[in-house]
């Protein structure tokens, strides 16, 4: 056991904590370490199709929106790779997902404050030393380590969400996050059904549609959404990914926040409009060669699933909301694009009595993203109920990490923006007056 105590330890190394590692490393007087149980950085490998891209511009990299001069910027990476001019000529702000993953891998390889193959199994508070004690298992050699920290940042992120009726169905039932690993096997089946909505569902559907046909496999896509929602991406809407809107949302009553999250899905769960059009164009082209063996159905919620013991086919029960009718759909294989949900990591059990919770027993982050009574433990990509739909937005990573570093250090290593939007999200403070345009009285 080392006697040294880190000022900051991050648990989990997805893009958000990787961003924090990049921003924390050069901060004078701040010792940091970031731990991850995987052997290296690899972001959504099961969805790394060739043509898919991010839904945020390249400036939403690991560091630029906090520190444009950082050596960990995407532009520095692409310069080091000898591709800066090629990227310039490409004239596309949206990085290919594969390229973003390669960039993050490059950044992780440059950092001195990251350690992979480390699984944090338990966290306890050491009263005598006024710090957190982390029990760490080495996945590469089975060894044990102890890490001490004054502050913690949880970056374990969400896990795949599987409908209860689909658990235990066995072969040919996968979550979208494992799609590429099973793609070839799925394409050997007579029929593939995709359940869910959002960008990942659309990307998988398009990828499978390219080879679907009468002589290959039938392809079905069913979603409970009333339509195939496009992601809302207008500029005044994008102002909701702002410090002011986070302030406004966090200050609302819990019931209002929960209602808004349910109503705002098209702001963060929609499909890129170009991809929706590409799907329609591909269907149109394929129909010129004959009937397309495809089913597209909205308003349909999955209510049950079982496997027929004789045919070994899957039988899926759905409820159509608008017609209020039930129906059954048969398929050979099932891809669940049913999203992700946040689960508290088990390692927090040892400090559960120190954590803040709301009246629904959910973690209750303060505005500065701390989740414990003292303001020592912070959360990254956690539940949406406290800070809103911008929580998983890559474009807000640098802002959130600048806020966390301000709270950790007691100073502002990176300037934290307070106002960027033209619009107001709430009524004026008491005593303030909204001045109307004076055009009529002039």
CA distances from 152 to 9, 51, 122, 362 (A): 5, 37, 13, 19
Q: Residue 221 is inside which H or E element, if any?
A: strand 218-222
The pTM score is 0.93
Q: Which two tokens stand for residue 434?
A: 């909204």
**Greatest Cα pair distance in the chain:** 82
CA distances from 225 to 198, 229, 271, 392, 403 (A): 10, 8, 12, 21, 35
- Cα–Cα distance, 302 to 319 (Å, whole number): 7
pLDDT of amino acid 441: 39
- Cα–Cα distance, 33 to 131 (Å, whole number): 15
Q: How far apart are the first and last CA of the chain?
A: 75
Q: Residue 402 is inside which H or E element, if any?
A: helix 397-409
- Residue 211, SS3 per DSSP: coil
Residue 322 sits at φ, ψ, to 5 deg, of -70, -40
- The structural domains of the chain, ordered by start, are 5-158+342-409 (3.50.50.60), 162-231+269-337 (3.50.50.60)
Helices 15-24 and 397-409 cross at an angle (nearest 10°) of 50
Asked whether the beta carbons of 220 and 195 are under 8 A apart, the reply is no
Helices 179-186 and 199-209 cross at an angle (nearest 10°) of 30
Spell out the per-residue pLDDT of the chain, length 442, in tens: 467 999 999 999 999 999 999 999 999 999 999 999 999 999 999 999 988 999 999 999 999 999 999 999 999 999 999 999 999 999 999 999 999 999 999 999 999 999 999 999 999 999 999 999 999 999 999 899 999 999 999 999 889 999 999 998 988 999 999 999 999 999 999 899 999 989 999 999 999 999 888 888 999 999 999 999 999 989 999 999 999 999 999 999 999 999 999 899 888 888 999 999 999 999 999 999 888 889 999 999 999 999 998 888 999 999 999 999 999 999 999 999 999 999 999 999 999 999 999 999 999 999 999 999 999 999 998 889 999 999 999 999 999 999 999 999 999 999 999 999 999 999 877 656 665 554 443 3
Closest among 390, 336, 385 to 197, alpha carbons compared: 336
Closest among 258, 143, 267 to 199, alpha carbons compared: 267
Helical ranges in 1-151 per DSSP H: 15-24, 74-80, 84-90, 97-110
Helical ranges in 111-162 per DSSP H: none
Closest among 249, 399, 261 to 341, alpha carbons compared: 261
Q: Residue 34 is inside which H or E element, if any?
A: strand 32-35
Q: How many CB atoms lie within 10 A of CB 127?
A: 7
DSSP of 332-387, one letter per residue? SEEEEE--EE----GGGGGGGGGB-B-TTS-B---TTSB-BSSS-EEESS--TTTT
């Amino acid at each position: 056991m080392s006697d040294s105590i880190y000022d900051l330890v991050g648990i989990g190394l997805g893009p958000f904590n990787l961003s924090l590692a990049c921003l924390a490393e050069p901060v004078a007087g701040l010792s940091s370490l970031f731990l991850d149980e995987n052997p290296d950085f690899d972001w959504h490998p099961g969805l790394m199709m060739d043509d898919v891209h991010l839904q945020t511009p390249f400036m939403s990299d690991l560091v630029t929106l906090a520190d444009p001069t950082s050596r960990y910027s995407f532009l520095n990476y692409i310069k080091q790779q000898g591709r800066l001019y090629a990227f310039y000529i490409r004239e596309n702000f949206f990085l290919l997902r594969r390229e973003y993953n390669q960039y993050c891998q490059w950044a992780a390889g440059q950092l001195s404050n990251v350690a992979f193959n480390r699984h944090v199994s338990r966290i306890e508070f050491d009263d005598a030393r006024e710090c957190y004690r982390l029990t760490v298992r080495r996945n590469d050699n089975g060894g044990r380590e102890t890490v001490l920290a004054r502050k913690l940042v949880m970056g374990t992120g969400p896990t795949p969400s599987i409908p209860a009726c689909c658990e235990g169905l066995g072969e040919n039932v996968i979550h979208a996050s494992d799609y590429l690993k099973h793609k070839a096997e799925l394409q050997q089946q007579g029929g593939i059904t995709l359940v869910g909505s959002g960008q990942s569902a659309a990307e998988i559907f398009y990828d499978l549609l390219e080879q679907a046909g009468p002589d290959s496999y039938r392809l079905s896509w069913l979603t409970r959404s009333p339509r195939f929602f496009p992601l809302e991406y207008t500029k005044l809407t994008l102002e909701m990914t702002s410090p002011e809107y986070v302030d406004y949302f966090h200050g609302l009553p819990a019931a209002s926040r929960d209602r808004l999250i349910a109503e705002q899905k098209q702001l963060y769960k929609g499909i890129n409009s170009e991809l929706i059009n590409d799907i329609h164009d591909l269907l149109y082209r394929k129909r010129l060669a004959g009937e397309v063996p495809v089913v597209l159905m909205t308003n349909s919620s999955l209510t049950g699933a079982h496997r027929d013991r004789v045919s070994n086919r899957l039988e899926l029960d759905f409820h159509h909301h608008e017609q209020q009718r039930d129906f059954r759909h048969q398929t050979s294989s099932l891809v669940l694009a049913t999203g992700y949900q946040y689960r508290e990591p088990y390692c927090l059990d040892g400090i559960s009595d120190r954590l803040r919770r709301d009246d629904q027993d959910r973690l209750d982050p303060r505005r500065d993203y701390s989740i414990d009574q003292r303001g020592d433990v912070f959360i990254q990509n956690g539940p949406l109920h406290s800070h809103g739909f911008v929580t998983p937005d890559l474009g807000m990573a640098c802002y959130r990490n600048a806020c966390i570093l301000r709270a950790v250090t007691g100073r502002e290593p990176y300037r934290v923006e307070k106002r960027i939007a033209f619009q107001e999200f709430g009524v004026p403070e008491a005593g303030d007056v909204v001045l109307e345009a004076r055009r009529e009285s002039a």
